[in-house]
Amino acid sequence: MIKLLKDVELMYFGFYNKNGRKYMKNNINLSELNNFIVFGEIGYPNSFEVSMKNVSHAISNFRIKDNILYGDIQILDTTSGKTLYELMKNINYVFRPRGKGLITDKGMIENYNIYAFDAIPMNEDSFMTLIKMRNLKLNKLINKIKDKI
């Protein structure tokens, strides 16, 4: 292992992302996820299968707090792991699920199966709007509190 990243936000529930999809936490089986280590690659490969020769990281210790799925990520001492580690020095990366499920006519994801959590540049993240909104709300709240002090 090259580096351990603790408490990484992996997935957001109950909100529509930029792709118009809404994931619900009742569709995630934590005990199943925590029964094994989930591997990931850099980018979003064209297959649901994880190529072990391209694995860059491993995710474990999955947990949900509020509407966010968290996990701990180990950047592995593999060729792809070393590449990811170097890329992360200059580019902000996030880790997002690679999976498949049924999309309802309202954009909700049902029967979702997770195959991996892949590393993607933050600017490609479909949840980025949610993160910006959450940070904006937090900043407004902090400013209100500061104004009262």
Each of the 149 residues of the chain gets a pLDDT tens digit; together they read: 899 999 999 998 988 887 888 888 888 888 888 888 899 999 988 888 899 999 999 999 999 998 899 999 999 999 999 999 999 999 889 999 999 889 999 888 988 889 999 999 887 776 765 555 555 555 556 556 656 66
State whether the Cα torsion 22-56-4-84 is positive or negative: negative
Amino acid of residue 115: Y
Q: How far is CA 104 from the centre of its chain?
A: 22
Residue 24, domain extent: 3-148
Mean of the per-residue pLDDT values of the chain: 86
Q: How much is the pTM?
A: 0.80
Contacts of 11 (CB under 8 A, 6+ apart): 23, 28, 68, 69, 96, 97, 127
19: exposed, middle or buried (Cβ count in 10 Å: 0-12, 13-18, 19+): exposed
Taking the C-alpha atoms of residue 100 and residue 113, their distance in angstroms, rounded to an integer, is 5
pLDDT score of 70: 95
Taking the C-alpha atoms of residue 45 and residue 121, their distance in angstroms, rounded to an integer, is 14
What is the number of domains present in the chain?
1
pLDDT score of 84: 96
